[in-house]
Amino acid sequence: MSEVKYDVSEVLISEEQLKQRVKELGAQITKDFEGEELLLVGILKGSVPFLADLMRTITLETVKLDFMVVSSYGSGTVSSGKINIKKDLETDIRGKNVIVVEDIIDSGNTLSCLKEVLLQREPKSLKIATMLDKPSRRQSPITPDYCGFAVEDKFIVGYGLDLDQKYRHLPYISWVKTE
């Protein structure tokens, strides 16, 4: 069986565009949380480039970090609204301002479940930041508070997004074409 070859050379969102947009999001977050402490929760692994860039554009005095690894149960349980927490927070978020940082929102199933779980822990506030959004794919009603770019329904990679764990390191967003 010959291996499928992918072409990820076509740039959909450039490094420069990503950088500029992240700067705007960071400025907005800084404004919204003026005088407050903030905890950024990165959802591993896809959020890593966005989180790393975003945190450096937020000029609040106290920005803390924590991470989670979550997976939604297989596609057979679409309506179940359940997630599997593979790695939980180390931080007690009660009374804290929390922004969950994601790479992309697709169906929204993962994030809407995660949001419910985190709200039960009674944070002071809970917001969602995502670099990419595919609103046309939504199954669960969830709207990001901070969003980089809305994209159409095509499979994309780069800037944290992977195809079988590949291409996360690309500094731009590309679509995937099969050759």
Please choose which of ligand IMP, Mg ion, none residue 177 contacts, taking the beta carbon within 5 to 8 angstroms, the exact cut-off set by kind: none
Does 144 interact with Mg ion (rule: CB under 5 A)?
A: no
Q: How far is CA 121 from CA 40, 43, 117, 127, in A?
A: 16, 17, 7, 14
Shorter beta-carbon distance to ligand IMP: residue 29 or 157: 157
Does 26 interact with Mg ion (rule: CB under 5 A)?
A: no
Q: Is 106 tagged catalytic?
A: yes
The verdict on whether omega for the bond into residue 31 sits within 30 degrees of 0, i.e. cis, is: no
Window of 43-51, 53-61, 67-75, 164-172 that interacts with Mg ion by CB under 5 A: 43-51
Considering CB under 6 A, how many residues would be counted as binding ligand IMP?
16
* Residues 148/9, Cβ–Cβ less than 8 Å: no
CA distance 39 to 28: 15
Q: Name the pairing type of β-strands 97-105 and 38-43.
A: parallel
CA distance 122 to 96: 8
From residue 119 to residue 138, what is the string marking binding to ligand IMP with x (rule CB under 6 A)?
--------------------
- Catalytic annotation, residues: 106
Contact positions vs ligand IMP (CB under 6 A): 46, 72, 102-111, 155-157, 161
Contact positions vs Mg ion (CB under 5 A): 46
